[in-house]
Amino acid sequence: MKRVYNFSAGPAVLPEEVLKEVAEEMFDYQGSGMSVMEMSHRTKLYESIIQTAEKDLRELIGIPDNYKVLFLQGGASQQFAMIPMNLMKNKKVAYIITGQWAKKAYEEGKIYGEAMAVASSADKVYSYIPDCSDLDIKDDVDYVYICENNTIYGTKFWELPNTKGKTLVSDVSSCFLSEPVDITKYGVMYGGVQKNIGPAGVVIAIIREDLITEDTLPFTPTMLKYKIHADNDSMYNTPPAYGIYICGKVFKWIKKMGGLTAMKELNEKKATILYDYLDQSSLFKGTVVKKDRSLMNVPFITGSDELDAKFVKQAKATGFENLKGHRSVGGMRASIYNAMPIEGVEKLVEFMKKFEAENA
């Protein structure tokens, strides 16, 4: 059995330990004689899976009782609509545009109300995070929206914006559980799990309770109301049951690894190996302003499309998969999420050094 080093931006690498464990449980989960995939979600056994997953997530992040944890579907993109439908009261939202995912959320927001772009880094191909210390945030905006880690461009908010007291809503899809966070600074923190936590198909939304109300936009479908999911403990309808089971396994794995502080240390170590090499290389260059660099997604270029393509091809042949940059920006991108082992990054850098020497 051959495993590659998978640098995909998502769906992405998962811990091998978890994959082995779920493989062992595939045919007969805890003596039930069936796989979790085949199991009714209305059973004690499944209830214990989803409840344990929520409990472990609460412990990992330190989520207080006045926040709900919802396991939802529809991808992170569905939240671009679900958030305005549930949170728009004055129908005004301030968006900070730091990449394609923030822009998509902003465009979706325009369908439901007045979406205001209060800052943007589009002028320099989203290669930095704009100064958000004193934005023009109107008194009557419902919330301020950010995409905290920009998967495509490799930037990260290392300081949260000054929202002038307004609710902060953050898409953390590509930095979920990669470091400790203070959830009380957020009204909504949400993300698709297919990068750091589990298989595509599950979205986790952590929402302050007072934001979950009956007072949604009038046409909001039942399935897109946070309250329905909150009142039914994410079991209003059939949840993405197998995906949640895998998420639960990954929460246990992170706990065993030492929690979010240990994750951050490991992620810093991995990213430093790659960034230090990029900073002194005469062939490869990072594309992001240093202070705004993501620990999760590391884009880089050679400056030549031809050499970029050659690199991606040779890397693939050597066992480094999915290093091609997003189709909208080109170049390369190494996504080094929680489950990417440090050896994967060390070996990638070794390979880059060799490629550099051969193509000097």
Active-site residue set: 101, 171, 195
Interface with ligand PMP, residue 248, by CB under 6 A = no
* Cα 194 to Cα 175, 206, 254, 307, distances in angstroms: 11, 17, 15, 30
Interface with ligand PMP, residue 46, by CB under 6 A = no
Contact 162, 185 (CB under 8 A): no
Q: Which is nearer to ligand PMP, 226 or 284 (CB)?
A: 226
Interface with ligand PMP, residue 130, by CB under 6 A = no
Closest Cα to residue 90, out of 168, 143, 162?
143
Only one of the segments 37-45, 167-175, 209-217, 320-328 lies at the binding site for ligand PMP (rule: CB under 6 A); that segment is: 167-175
Contact pattern for ligand PMP over residues 84 through 103, marking x by CB under 6 A: -----------------x--
Interface with ligand PMP, residue 163, by CB under 6 A = no
Q: Which two tokens stand for residue 40?
A: 């009714």
Q: Which is nearer to ligand PMP, 204 or 352 (CB)?
A: 204
Q: How far is the CB of 109 from ligand PMP (least distance, A)?
A: 14
Interface with ligand PMP, residue 318, by CB under 6 A = no
Within residues 182-201, the interface with ligand PMP by CB under 6 A covers: 192
d(CA 129, CA 97): 9
DSSP three-state, residue 260: helix
Q: What is the DSSP letter of 332?
A: E
Q: Which is nearer to ligand PMP, 77 or 314 (CB)?
A: 77
Q: What is the DSSP letter of 335?
A: E
Interface with ligand PMP, residue 173, by CB under 6 A = yes
Q: State the pairing for strand pair 188-192/167-171.
A: parallel
Using CB under 6 A, pick the residue from 147, 241, 295, 340 that binds ligand PMP: 147
Interface with ligand PMP, residue 108, by CB under 6 A = no
d(CA 112, CA 91): 7
Closest Cα to residue 240, out of 194, 196, 207, 206?
194
- The distance of Cα 86 from the centroid of its chain, to the nearest Å, equals 21
Q: Which residues lie near ligand PMP (CB under 6 A)?
A: 10, 75-77, 101, 147, 151, 171, 173-174, 192
